[in-house]
Amino acid sequence: MRDITDIQAVRPGTNLLAEFDQVFLKDSQIRKTRIGGAEGAKFDEAGVEIKLLMVADRMHMLKVYFKKGSVVPRHVHADHSTIVCLQAGKLRVHIGDRTFMAKPGDVWQHPRGVPHYHEVLEDSQVIEIKSPASKTW
């Protein structure tokens, strides 16, 4: 278990995030952090900001902020799966050989081992749930 101020803390000898001590958090308690890449893919200069909302047994939840015009490069999750829900904005989502236009409320998954990327058509915000709780940034 750990405090929410350290989004880099992992369980010793793994890339799994350490669980939070807290069972309830207010959004205002969680700091936003700019990341330059994930899964070995580098983000463009617009960058991506995240809030690590919660880490629990074998999963974590992120709020991710994307700037209009940016592209999250093609990458693969080798060790986890992700479920995504678009909260605000508009994305063109590419999963394997399929393409989708995502609007607020739409939900999709990035299965383990399947290449994917997305183009940010408007400033956007998503909620992601990853399992297991792998540190990917």
Domains within the chain, CATH numbers bracketed = 27-131 (2.60.120.10)
Provide the pLDDT for residue 5: 52
CA–CA gap between residue 15 and residue 31 (Å, rounded): 21
Average pLDDT score, the chain: 88
Residues 6-17 pLDDT 10s: 555 677 777 788
Contact (Cβ atoms closer than 8 angstroms) between residue 81 and residue 131: yes
**Which amino acid makes up residue 8?**
Q
Q: What is the pTM of this model?
A: 0.86
CA–CA gap between residue 29 and residue 40 (Å, rounded): 29
Q: Which residues pair with 75 in a beta bridge?
A: 116
